[in-house]
Each structure stands twice: as structure tokens, then as C-alpha cells.
Amino acid sequence: MSSSDASLQMPTPTSLSSDQGISKTQLLQGSGRSKYVDNTLWTRVVEEFNEPEEALEDSFSDASDVDSSEDDSGYVIGRTPDSAVGNVHPSTGHIHQLWHIFSENVDPLTKVVHAPTIYPLIQKAASDIGSVPKNFEALMLAVYSTAVMSMQNDECERRFGETRKTLLSRYISATKAALAQVKFMGTTSIIVLQTLVLHTVSVRNVHEPRSLFTLSGIALRIAEAMGLHRDGTSLGLPPFETEIRRRIWWQLKMNDYRIAELAGLAKFRVIDTAVNPARAPANINDDELYPGMSSPPTESSGPTDMIFCVLRSEMGSLVTTFAVKFHSQQKGEFHWDEFVEHASKAEKRDKHDFIEEIKDLLETKHVRYCDPSQPLQLLTMLFARSAMDVARFYAHHPRRWRSAEQVSESERQNVWNISIRLLEQYDMVQTSPHLQRFAWHAAYFLQWHAFIHVLDSLRADPLMTEGDKAWHLVESIYKNHPEMMSNTRKTIYRAVGNLCLKAYSAREAALVNAGEAVRDAPEYIMTLRQQREKAKARINARNANEQQAQTLGNDARPVSVQASREPISGTTDWTCDTEGLNSLQEIPSLPPGPGQDAINNDAFWFDSSYANDLVGASDKMICENTDFMLAEDHMFDDTMIDWTQWDAWIGGPT
């Protein structure tokens, strides 16, 4: 190891082991790496090495064929190791600014790195970028990415002289390249794992949920291979390493739960049923934790630097414990949504008791100690109360209603009140100057089902008593999420936009019928309407071109594959864009992969029924599908809402 490598490694213990029945469980650790061994075969293999650390060596080194395409894991994240990394770093001053932004905006809500330990290494690295080890360089790039992700565009331009979009694209691409260079798929480095965790945070509002779910699964597998799913105390690890590993593992788990929910999959799936699973992180301040400490610090009963992450992890731990109990009673696999939405009378009592148990834990152990004048503690209070309202919403989810007529007024009002509270809590995080630095996190936790229910209620009862209040919240959500209008390729955004317009048009019609004045539509409604008008115009133009082609008999003669992928008329615009909005042309394409030219020249692909999924025709098809959904006037009729369809739209691909 070079001197620079050694200087940037956090202290780690030597190889440790413990007997667990037939298999010999070992955690091999050294030089910032760890490998978890839990079967007899690998135990025998490890015994063949002169030193346990030899078994930690990855299948490459900095001096080896790093840039070769063999054993390349870069394809998983969309980049190859050929991409440049070294020239991406900003100036020394900007590196320090980005770290400060990260430590203020991102670190309090993630805690996957120990800031007091990492910051001196950042300072040292910033003064000599050329000698930074590749593992740590990847972590630095992930810090840049998440810092930029947490900022608004005007702040990026003011502080760094470039747009947020430009900076985010640059640093995310560089992080991908750096991860590929260190071959993250087979890593035993805790620093590389920390990089991957931060990378999943930086791209979670960019990638569609099912892609994120897959990436999250890879991160969990890497963590398991390093033994993070087992508590460090059972592996004989020192307090510092034990606590850092807990933080990383629980960040991965809680992130995976949310991604699963957005992808339309079971939330709070049982992950840890083994002996000695990783405990929730300790409620301590960062300055109480340091490498080399001999005993763990005493946990605080009040708020600390870890308050948000501790509360979230304890919630997950409680649900996981309940899931294990549920499974042990031979009730089958535990699914959170099914449990709270469908239950027998006995299970309903369990459900009520469970929700109350969560409430008592959050309120008595954490929330009552929080000071709302402190941003992190205020966010923790809002998160805790929002979590309770989410549980209540699912316990009374409107998908349980067979028909609107069979729902009691008290039940209807209860679900409405819960939904409005959820949107108010969400809006407060988005709009409060006190919480601005954490607004990036809230954006990922919009409760789509509550939002959809509010819009559907406004559609069904346009002049309801609290309609004005609800429309104010809807407008605020669109204002704080311009991508809900600009990203017309995302299915859920298009579907919600259609439902929103349906509800607003119903309100306008009801006001006219009641003889009341109708004010001008707000800007977001005008934008949504213009998008759909232009989509209809593009559909009409395509239909006219097709009819013209049929009239001229063009459809009777053979058409080349290349021509079949081009617009019939040279004036037809296939861009799924309205003025100032996102288009296919703005999405950078990846460079061709090895052998791609040969594939493009192989007639087999063009003759295959899979051709449209494999070649550039998909862009045109995406535009057509996008326009069709934008232009659909009758997507929502006056019947009960189809929640199964909405689940598919929420988790569907872009």
C-alpha cells in the first residue's frame, strides 16, 4: 500500500472470528476492508492463507489491469471505467464549500460517514488531489453529488457559477466512473460501500423506482458480504466500527423500504431474522464517537446529531420485529400494506395496538424532547407525526371502500383529514425557510396515495367545504416540484396531472352552475393544459401524415428499417416537449458499448419482433405513448378510483 493509501485509511481491527455451530463465522478485517465468512468451505479457504488479510485482497489492484473491460461492473450503473475522473474535481475552495453543504444538508439525514473523521481526510485530499486513493476519491465525488442534489438551482449558480443540472450531471457521472474503476460489485472496502450508499441517495429523484430497487439490492448484498447485517458486538468489533456499520446498514435498509414502496413492491419485508442482527444506531453525538475508543459511549435520552436517523431506524426495527412475530405465527410472509389494509377482527386489534405502540415509542422516547426551534429536531417531529399519519391512512385506505355510497361520512372525513395533514406536513418541509436545507429529503417522501385521494375527492365533490385549502396545498406541491410538470416522460406525473385537471375542470363547471365567479386558472393548471393541447396537436399531425401516406399508397411498398424509424413527414416533431420543458433531446445518450456497431448491422435484430425494444425506434414510441396519455380526456370517469392501476403508475418506468 502506498503512503497516501495508508494515510487515508480509517483504523480497523485485525481479523476476528467466533464459532456459530457447524459453520465458523469469521469477519476478516484490515486496511479498511472487511469480508464476512459464514460457511465451512470459506473457513477452510481462509485457513490456507498465511495472513487472514490476504483473503481480503480484491481481484485487482491499482497496478493491475484496472482499465480492462474484463470483470467490469460499470455496466450496472451505466458507465465504464474508461470515463475520466481526475479532471472533474472542483477548486480547493469549492471542495470545502461542497463538504460544508454536505455536512449541513445531507449528513444529518444519512449519517453513513463519520464527519469528524472524514473531514480532516477531505482537507488533506483537497490539497493534493493527484495522490488520493481511488476508493477515497470515489467517496469525495459522492459527497459532491449529494451536496449539489440538496441545493436549489439559484444557490448553485450563486456559489459555483453553474446550474444545478450541469453540476449534478457532472458529479453523478464521475461517481459512476469512480465506482466502476474500483470495481464496486466485488468490493470489501467500507469506503466504497459508503460511496455507493451516497450515490443511491443522489440519483433517487433521477432514476425510476424499479431501477433504484435493483441498485439498492446490490448495495445490500455488498453490505451483507461485508457482514454489516450482523451486529458488530457479536463479531468482536470495537465500538467505533460497530457503530459506523450499524449506521450504514440501517440507512440501506430504510432506503430500501421506501424504494420498494415506490416500486410497487412489499414494504418492510423481513430481512433480518438471523441471530444477532445489526442493532439500530445509538443516539449519540458524533463528537462522542472516535476511532480507537475502548467502550461505547452512553446513549442520550434527548436529541443528538443522530436523532433523525435513530428515530427512523427504531421505527424500522419495530416493524421488523413485528414482521418476525407475524411470520412465526405461520401467517405467511409479512406485507405491511396488506396487514394494515386487510385484517380479520383479531388482526384489526393487533393493527390498532401496533400503531399505538409506534405512537408511544415516537412520542415518549423522542418527539417530546425535540425543540421545534432547531431545524433537525423540527424535521424529526414532522417525520414522526407524518409516519403515524401514514400508518393511519393505510389502516383506513380508501381502496377498502367497495363504493362511495357505502362509506360512512365519519370514515370519509377521517381519511380526508389524515390526507390533508400528510400534505400539510409535507408542504411545511418544502416551504419553511427554517427547513430549506432538508427540503431535498422531503421531495422523495411525497405520499402519493394521500395526494391522489385528495385530488379524487376534489373531482367527486368540487365544492366541498375544505376545497380551497386543499387546492392551495395542490398548487404549493406543484410549485415546489416543477419536475411534476416538466418531466412528461414519468408515468405518475402524467397520470396525476390528468387527475388534477379533471378535478379543476369539475370545480370550474360547478362554480359556473352555482352562479359564482370563476377566477383565472393558476399557472400550473395553464401549463398542464398547454402540455395536453400540444400533445393532441402532435397526435393529430401524426394521424394526418399516416392518412396521407395511405392515400399515396406508400404503405404498399417495402420500407427500409431505417426509414421505418423516421417520421413520415420531414416536418413532424417527435419531441415530447412543450416550450421550456424536458425533452428526449436533452437526455444524454451513453457511448456505444463493445460490439454495439455489430449489433446495429445485424439484420436479425431488425427482423425480430423485439426490434422496437432494442433500437432507436423506442424514442419515437415513448413520445407517442406520452402524447397519448397526456391527451387522454376520459382516463378518469365518475366511478371509484382504481388503486391497482395507480400502484402500477407510481412504480412504473419512465
Tell how far CA 485 is from the center of its chain: 20
Residues 6 or more apart in contact with residue 486 via CB below 8 angstroms: 580, 581, 582
Closest C-alpha to 309, from 344, 339, 284, 328 = 284
pLDDT at 562: 42
What percent of the chain is helix, strand and coil (3-state, nearest 5)?
65, 5, 35
Cell numbers describing residue 8: 487515508
pLDDT at 354: 76
The amino acid at residue 545 is N
Residue 232: CA count within 13 A, CB half-sphere: 24
Q: How far apart are the first and last CA of the chain?
A: 44
Report the DSSP beta bridge partners of residue 19: 24
Q: Give the start-to-end residue ranges of the domains of the chain.
A: 539-625
Give me the sheet containing 16-20, strands edge to edge: 16-20, 23-30, 33-37
| C-alpha–C-alpha distance, residues 205 and 452, integer Å | 19
| C-alpha–C-alpha distance, residues 7 and 281, integer Å | 27
Residues 6 or more apart in contact with residue 421 via CB below 8 angstroms: 385, 389
| C-alpha–C-alpha distance, residues 184 and 180, integer Å | 6
pLDDT at 219: 96
Residues 6 or more apart in contact with residue 68 via CB below 8 angstroms: none
pLDDT at 543: 81
Report the DSSP beta bridge partners of residue 36: 27
Q: Identify the residue whose cell numbers are 420531414.
A: 570
pLDDT at 575: 46
3-state secondary structure 117-179: HHHHHHHHHHCCHHHCCHHHHHHHHHHHHHHHHCCCHHHHHHHHCCCHHHHHHHHHHHHHHHH
C-alpha triplet 194, 198, 202: angle, nearest 5°: 165
| C-alpha–C-alpha distance, residues 127 and 134, integer Å | 16
3-state secondary structure 599-626: HHCCHHHHHCCCHHHHCCHHHHHHHHHH
Residue ranges, the chain, pLDDT below 70: 1-84, 86, 267-274, 323-350, 553-639, 651-654
Closest C-alpha to 620, from 526, 547, 557, 545 = 545
CB 284 within 8 A of CB 297: yes
User: For the stretch 301-326, what's the b/e string if a residue is b when 16 or more beta carbons lie within 10 angstroms of its beta carbon?
Assistant: eebbbbbbbbbbbbbbbbbbebbeeb
Residues listed for the chain = 654
SS3 of 502, please?
Answer: helix
pLDDT at 359: 83
| C-alpha–C-alpha distance, residues 14 and 292, integer Å | 13
Residues 6 or more apart in contact with residue 237 via CB below 8 angstroms: 13, 16, 27, 29, 245
pTM of the model: 0.78
pLDDT at 593: 41
At residue 270, φ and ψ (nearest 5 deg) are -70, 120
Q: What is the pLDDT of residues 223-270, one digit of tens each?
A: 999 999 999 999 999 999 999 999 999 999 999 988 988 887 776 665
| C-alpha–C-alpha distance, residues 37 and 333, integer Å | 28
Report the DSSP beta bridge partners of residue 16: 27
**Can you say whether the dihedral through the CA atoms of 125, 128, 129, 132 is positive or negative?**
negative
CB 342 within 8 A of CB 276: no
Report the DSSP beta bridge partners of residue 34: 29
Stretch (H or E) spanning 414 = helix 409-431
